[in-house]
Amino acid sequence: MRHRSLLILTTTVTVGALTLSACGSRDDKGGSGDSGGKTTVTIGLDAPLTGDLSALGQGIKNSTDLAVKTANKNNEVKGVTFKLETLDDQGQAGTGQQNATKLVGNEEVAGVVGPLNSHVGQSMQKVFGNADLVQVSPANTAPQLSQGPDWQKGDKKRLFDTYFRTATTDAVQGPYAAQYLFNKKKFKNAYIIDDKKTYGAGLAGTFQDEFKKLGGKIVGSDHINPEDRDFSAVATKVAKSKADFVYIGSEYPTGAPLSAQIKKAGGNIPAVGGDALYSAEYIKLHKKKSEGDMATSVGAPLETLDTAKTFMKNYKAGGYKLPYEAYGGYAYDSAWAVIQAVKAVVEKNDGKLPDDMDDARKQITDAMKDVKFSGVTGDVAFDEYGDTTNKQLSVYEVKGGKHVPVQTGTFQEN
């Protein structure tokens, strides 16, 4: 009996879902007819718009918004108007996954930009993968998102065909920092701290491997809770160690107080971290004590790139209240990649998207593999794992209350 009622329930739900989805596609067609042959295509955006990481998230949102507006203004894809649907994940994996489900459920969404955090990206991948909905992250740097959990052992395997990113990975970001500190700064002793999250622990791991390989010494290591703000005991340990610098695998809301408390405890050494410490907020949280701290970030500094001049000009003209921050350029390029993929599909299909949205999504995902354009951050294209082919990185140092670029280049294996 139980089985039968379950069967009936399942059938009802399935029929209901089918009916609803049929309604959806009919609506789509109707919509495109009404507005004089123009189809509306929605680009989803997911980023932490509130909470500690909101500075980075708002920069991503504004830059994506700019890309969408630019595409509409220039009539980039003929017959298609782009619209943005913005969702806030608060930097939490669970919320990110709900947002992903919501975006998949919206029949108009043809592609998604985001998220910021690697652990959020991890939770969204499967949802998009099942729905064939393409996702381009401007900021995820954890290597396993594209290359599978065993990437470090050389066993690279792409998990989701729908996952792409314009930011380079920690597989090169950590080692790049290690080489800079060991070769250029002549630092031999490292103290390594991570926050146990996907991003922080991964980054600290790749850094540590390369630093040891170069001949550096790890004089101590520790793990912290990302929610803690009192690190006095850890700080004293670091300050009393013989480390030349402390490497922090974490994000600025945790990294800034940690670095400041190490200095307060008498540890007169720079704190070094990855792209998640490269934010104006990092300096704002601890004005005086951040001097000399370093951070690596993906890509070349936008200010030095000719390709970014127009972006910076338009961003200013757009009247956005908050700065574009570390990932603005990448968010713009991510959105532009989605737009280009839609364009490729529309051109192939006699000037419109396939009527069946599932089919359209699949074709857009396929088209993403061949997307290639000159973007804000340089040439944008994706390799066989969905990672960006642009592997440039930069080191920044805090000087006079600002992050100043000190080196830009690509990672070379020793």
Partner 1 sequence: MQDLPDQLANGLALGALYGLIAIGYTMVYGIVQLINFAHGEIFMIGGFGALTAYLWLPEGTGLVVALPLMILLGVVCATLVGVGAERFAYRPLRGGPRLSPLITAIGLSLALQQAVWSFYPDAKKARPFPQFSGGDFDLGFVSLSREDLFIFVAAPVCMIALGVFVAKTRTGRAMQATSQDPDTAKLMGINTDRIIVMAFAIGAAFAAIAAIAQGFKTGEVSFRMGFIAGLKAFTAAVLGGIGNIYGAMVGGLVLGVAEAMATAYIGDIPGLEQFGGGSWKDVWAFVLLILVLLIRPQGILGERLADRA
If 0-12 CB within 10 Å is exposed, 13-18 middle and 19+ buried, where does residue 69 land? middle
Residue 142 · residue 198 · CB < 8 Å: yes
Residue with Cβ nearer partner 1 (253 or 378): 253
Distance CA 73, CA 53 (A): 31
Nearest approach, Cβ of 178 to partner 1 (angstroms)? Answer: 22
Residue among 104, 149, 102 at smallest CA distance from 128: 104
Q: CA 173 to CA 396: how far, in whole Å?
A: 13
- Distance of closest approach, residue 258 Cβ to partner 1, in angstroms: 9
The helix/strand/coil state of 370 is coil
C-alpha 57/C-alpha 66 separation (Å) is 14
Pairing of strands 373-375, 378-380: antiparallel
Q: What are phi and psi of 150, to 5 degrees?
A: -105, 25
Q: Closest separation between CB of residue 365 and partner 1, Å?
A: 34
Which residues sit at the interface with partner 1, rule CB under 8 A? Answer: 50-55, 193, 196, 221-225, 227-234, 236-237, 240, 253, 256-257, 260-261, 264-266, 281, 284-288
Rounded-to-integer distance, Cα 4 and Cα 226, Å: 48
185/271 Cα distance (integer angstroms): 13
- Cβ closest to partner 1, residue 212 vs residue 240: 240
Q: Which is nearer to partner 1, 25 or 241 (CB)?
A: 241
3-class DSSP state of 117: coil
> CB of 350: closest distance to partner 1 in angstroms?
46
Q: How far is the CB of 412 from partner 1 (least distance, A)?
A: 34
CB of 266 to partner 1, least distance (A): 6
In the chain, what is the straight-line distance between the N-terminal and C-terminal CA atoms, in Å?
Answer: 67
Residue 18 sits at the vertex; the CA angle it makes with 15 and 22, to the nearest 5 degrees, is 140
- Which tokens in the block code for residue 404? 């100043």
Q: To the nearest whole angstrom, how small is the minimum distance from the Cβ of residue 262 to partner 1?
A: 12
CB 383 within 8 A of CB 312: no
User: Cβ contacts of residue 263 below 8 Å, gap of 6+?
Assistant: 289
Q: Closest CB to partner 1 among 265 and 312?
A: 265
Of 224 and 364, which has the nearer Cβ to partner 1?
224
Both tokens of residue 140?
């995820």
Residue 93, SS3?
A: helix
Q: Is 303 exposed, middle or buried (0-12, 13-18, 19+ CB in 10 A)?
A: exposed
Between 161 and 222, CB nearer to partner 1 = 222
Residue placing its CB nearer to partner 1 in the complex, 264 or 352: 264
- C-beta of 226: minimal distance to partner 1 in Å? 10
Q: Considering beta carbons, is residue 256 or 294 the nearer one to partner 1?
A: 256
Residue in 89, 86, 113, 185 with CA at minimum distance from that of residue 341: 113
CA distance 173 to 178: 9
What minimum distance in Å lies between the beta carbon of 94 and partner 1?
Answer: 17
Among residues 46, 231, 176, the alpha carbon closest in space to that of 121 is found at 46
**Closer Cβ to partner 1, 42 or 279, answer by number:** 279
Q: Which tokens hold the place of 143?
A: 């290597």
